[in-house]
Amino acid sequence: MKGRVLGGAALVLADGDSVATALEDLEAGREIHNGNHAMTLTDDVPFGHKFALEPLSAGETVQKYGEVIGRATEAVAAGEWVHTHNCESTRGRGDVAATEAER
């Protein structure tokens, strides 16, 4: 399997990713170890969904697969569920690319 598994519970697909993918339904309060660092999930994270490995600021990019997949729309704590309520996709967004090119 590509990537690395955290405690049998989540998959980090590439170095530098800011999120991990749940390999099963994970309950808030579960401790996840990422190397020498441990975090506690602040939300329930459904199977196949993402949670933050590190704090993200509003506007900061979200990385998965070693690629930018979106941007945090608000501050996200380590261990928090990352989904449409706090992250917007930037993939295939010509409007975002055009705006960023103008900067």
CA pair distance 34, 86, nearest whole angstrom: 22
Instruction: Tell me the sheet residues that pair with 72.
Output: 87
Q: Which residue has the higher pLDDT, 20 or 35?
A: 20
Instruction: Tell me the sheet residues that pair with 10.
Output: 6, 22
Please state the separation of Cα 7 from the chain's center in Å: 17
CATH class of 4-102: mainly beta
Mean pLDDT, the chain, as a whole number? Answer: 90
pLDDT, one tens digit per residue, over 71-93 is 999 999 999 999 999 999 987 75
pLDDT, one tens digit per residue, over 26-71 is 999 999 998 888 999 999 999 999 999 999 999 999 999 999 999 9
Q: Give every strand in the sheet of 50-52, ordered side by side.
A: 4-6, 10-12, 19-22, 50-52, 81-82
User: Looking at the predicted structure, is the pLDDT value of residue 95 above 70?
Assistant: no
